[in-house]
Amino acid sequence: MSVVVITGASRGIGLAATSFLLETFKATVIAISRTRSSELDALATAHPEALQIVQCNITDELAFTRAIQSVPAKYGRLDALVLNAGTLDPMMRIASSDTPLDAWRTHFEVNVYSLVTALKAAAPSLRESPNGGKVIFVSSGAAVGGVAGWGPYNASKAAMNSLNRTLATEEKGKIISIAVRPGKVDTDMQREIREFGGIHMAPGDHDSFVREKNNGLLLKPEDPGHVIAGLAVNGPESLSGEFVSWDDPRCYEFRRPA
């Protein structure tokens, strides 16, 4: 049975992945989240022995480190780390004069520096995992794109992919590291884009997000969530260092059954 830490588990993709880890892959899950939700609490009620919820702000380096390091002390092992928590805020143009640089710093605290905190805390235990430790980065197509108005997000997801590649090299044979593009998923982040992105994004880009929602084309969180959960438990070494889409043929075995 795998022991998995997942961040940002209270809703969306993180909640779906947590559910599949518990119910399909029979993992023990430590869900680290800044907030709780009724859905996450319901999972804890249904799986009292297998799910532990830890409320923690991932930008609090000391608290976040302690939360992760407490896992092998309690469960005797740590097999996987799913780094899902993140933020889109602030949407802004790079040369905008109305968003202070501190907004960029705050964004990077959440989307980049917290990753380093987690990796430093988890790596010693992941290296000792009997089947090889796994790190799954929940990335985005923004990592290789350039959507106007998403300057901080584009840059932070590119940094995430770079960390993924470097970790795979540094921990070759010890930790399998995979970055996953979940696609356009019907989550709170998509709602933020539709409601507030029009001010900063190119009209055509913003219209495409509105149109895809209206036409029912957004993915359900369960689609990429199942793939992410499967990779956290059984991700192959052949994908280590790779940035893969959730529906990549190499991830086919981890897709949710129809």
Instruction: Provide the residue count of the chain.
Output: 258
Gap between the Cα atoms of 188 and 173, Å rounded: 37
Residue 171 is which amino acid? E
Active site residue 75: no
How does DSSP assign the chain, residue by residue?
--EEEEES-SSHHHHHHHHHHHHTS--EEEEEESS--HHHHHHHHH-TTTEEEEE--TT-HHHHHHHHHHHHHHHS---EEEE-----PPPB-TT-SSS-HHHHHHHHIIIIIHHHHHHHHHHHHHHT-TT-EEEEEE--GGGG---TTBHHHHHHHHHHHHHHHHHHHHTTTTEEEEEEE--SBSSHHHHHHHHHGGGTS-HHHHHHHHHHHHTT-SBPTHHHHHHHHHHHHH--GGGTT-EEETT-GGGGGGSPP-
Active-site residue identified among 10, 153, 177, 240: 153
User: CB of 121 within 8 A of CB of 69?
Assistant: yes
Active-site residue identified among 10, 114, 134, 157: 157
Active-site residue identified among 114, 139, 156, 177: 139
Catalytic residues, by residue number, are: 139, 153, 157
